[in-house]
Amino acid sequence: MLVAALLSAWLQYGADAKPHARAVVTDAACPRMLVDGRAVAMERRAGKAPQFDDTVCDAAIAADAKSVRVGDRALPPPAHDPRTVVVLGDTGCRINLLTAQACNDPAGWPFPAIARAIAAVHPDLVIHVGDYLYREHGCPPVLANCANSPHGDDAPAWYADFLTPAAPLFAHVPLLLLRGNHEVCDRNGTGWFRYLDPHPTTACTEATDPYAIDVGDLRIVAFDSATAEDQKVDPSRAPIYRKQFAAARAMVKGPTWFVTHRPPYTNDDERSAMDDNLAPFEAVLSGHFHFFAALNVATLPPLVINGEGGTKLDPNLAGFLGLAVGDLHVVGTVFGISHNGFGVYTREHGGWSISLRDPDGTERARCRLADRGVHCTPPP
Ligand SMILES: [Fe+2]
């Protein structure tokens, strides 16, 4: 008899603000789950489908749960008092028609090492700001560095680019997952909604509504900017974003982070619709540009970009600056580093320190995020 295997399991926050356990299994039946020693049924989120020979299961659990087990695997309990939060984004191995990262070489594609280094930090929460699947073409025959890589919006590519290398995170840290532009409906939206979207539905939609989660006394508003146009305004979407920004503003309660994929200050679609609705937030965190950047903008909260999580880096800050200025006044200097890694945000003296880490966990620079500003210094 074939024994049903647990392929993957993790804890992520749902759009209903509750922590959810998710499990992927080979069988059609969902595994047994124990929360604080009591059996909790998992529901089938997605059954087997042509490109996905697995079953995805889900169950909401209590925010104060202390122990979570799925099958024979222990999952991290929900965060209660987050002192350390890791932010990363843009993690997949890029394979284009003509170029590719060396997906099988840790130096060429560092996300697997980054996931291990993050687990070693023992953060209370990990925020992935989007863009998980970059294997969108077959490895070009002339290139050996990505040979045999799966590709496309199917289970093997999702395992290769995220579910397998993220296993060290799944074992240790609850997750808040944002959707990137790589996960819109005509790219890899089927896999995104199947495995990772925080809503109960698995049918791909172009825009989902913002939601808030409370992790201890830190409130985080998650905003889906996957389909926003970077460099033009789509008039059909303006009313949707206008409504969503107003809804996000209404969710501010105490110190609140606005977390999204595309930096709203540089995105034309969002800028046209955001009005002053971001003003009450403590910080805006995003990815999308493949580097780290921190900037202070007059009248708006500081913007921090952690898009350096493993995919091919964007080369410089100059292009970003060109996008950033527009009609916004950048206060002080913009700090940027184009190097793979992740950000460790730690509560400190009424604000947060940000330790920028290399893929092996070594610190590369430090910032302080407090009093509606972010200020960074490279290491001595
Ligand atoms: Fe992106």
| 52 plus 94 within the same structural domain | no
C-alpha 366 – ligand 1 centre gap (Å): 24
pLDDT, average across residues 231-245:
93
| Domain-terminating residue out of 33, 52, 77 | 77
What tokens appear for 235 in the block? 């008039």
C-alpha 140 – ligand 1 centre gap (Å): 23
C-alpha to C-alpha distance for 309 and 88, rounded to whole angstroms:
5
C-alpha 45 – ligand 1 centre gap (Å): 26
| Domain-terminating residue out of 52, 77, 102 | 77
C-alpha 52 – ligand 1 centre gap (Å): 24
318 band by pLDDT with thresholds 50, 70 and 90: very low
Of 180, 259, 166, 168, nearest to 212 (Cα)?
Answer: 259
Q: Could you report the per-residue pLDDT of 98-115, keeping only the tens digit for each?
A: 889 999 999 999 999 999
| 38 plus 86 within the same structural domain | no
Q: Could you report the per-residue pLDDT of 270-313, keeping only the tens digit for each?
A: 888 888 999 999 999 999 999 999 989 888 999 999 999 999 99
C-alpha 269 – ligand 1 centre gap (Å): 14
C-alpha 202 – ligand 1 centre gap (Å): 21
**Coil, helix or strand for 162?**
helix
The torsion of the CA quartet 345, 162, 27, 31, rounded to 10 degrees, works out to -10
pLDDT of residue 324: 52
| 95 plus 181 within the same structural domain | yes
The DSSP bridge partners found for residue 285 are: 259, 304
pLDDT of residue 194: 98
C-alpha 173 – ligand 1 centre gap (Å): 23
C-alpha 308 – ligand 1 centre gap (Å): 11
| 13 plus 137 within the same structural domain | no
Q: How many CB atoms lie within 10 A of CB 257?
A: 24
**Are 357 and 342 spatial neighbours (Cβ–Cβ below 8 Å)?**
yes
C-alpha 90 – ligand 1 centre gap (Å): 7
C-alpha 223 – ligand 1 centre gap (Å): 14
C-alpha 198 – ligand 1 centre gap (Å): 18
| 47 plus 85 within the same structural domain | no
Q: What is the CATH number of the domain that holds 354?
A: 3.60.21.10
Q: What is the CATH number of the domain that holds 6?
A: 2.40.30
- Specify the number of domains making up the chain: 2
pLDDT, average across residues 363-379:
92
Sequence-separated (6 or more) residues with CB below 8 Å from residue 352? 283, 345, 346, 368, 369, 370
107, exposed or middle or buried, with CB in 10 Å at 0-12, 13-18, 19+?
exposed
Q: Could you report the per-residue pLDDT of 24-63, keeping only the tens digit for each?
A: 999 999 999 999 999 999 999 999 999 999 999 999 999 9
C-alpha 183 – ligand 1 centre gap (Å): 9
The yes-or-no verdict on residue 3 having pLDDT over 80 is no
The yes-or-no verdict on residue 267 having pLDDT over 90 is no
| 262 plus 190 within the same structural domain | yes
Q: What is the mean pLDDT of the chain?
A: 93
pLDDT, average across residues 72-84:
94
C-alpha 179 – ligand 1 centre gap (Å): 9
| Domain-terminating residue out of 77, 109, 141 | 77
The torsion of the CA quartet 169, 173, 176, 182, rounded to 10 degrees, works out to 0
For 349-369, b/e burial (b = at least 16 CB within 10 A) is eebbbbbbbbbebeeebebbb
C-alpha to C-alpha distance for 228 and 319, rounded to whole angstroms:
19
C-alpha 374 – ligand 1 centre gap (Å): 23
| 136 plus 20 within the same structural domain | no
C-alpha 287 – ligand 1 centre gap (Å): 7
The yes-or-no verdict on residue 316 having pLDDT over 70 is no
| 142 plus 59 within the same structural domain | no
The yes-or-no verdict on residue 379 having pLDDT over 80 is no
C-alpha 103 – ligand 1 centre gap (Å): 19
pLDDT of residue 144: 85
pLDDT of residue 5: 93
C-alpha 230 – ligand 1 centre gap (Å): 10
Which domain range does residue 1 map to? 1-77
C-alpha to C-alpha distance for 206 and 227, rounded to whole angstroms:
6
Alpha helices by DSSP H, 173-237: 189-191
pLDDT of residue 155: 98
| 128 plus 54 within the same structural domain | no
| 340 plus 361 within the same structural domain | yes
pLDDT of residue 184: 98
| 247 plus 146 within the same structural domain | yes
Sequence-separated (6 or more) residues with CB below 8 Å from residue 323? 230, 231, 266
1 band by pLDDT with thresholds 50, 70 and 90: very low
C-alpha distances (whole Å) from 380 to each of 222, 338, 355, 369 are 35, 18, 14, 20
What does pTM read for this prediction?
A: 0.96
| 293 plus 222 within the same structural domain | yes
C-alpha 300 – ligand 1 centre gap (Å): 22
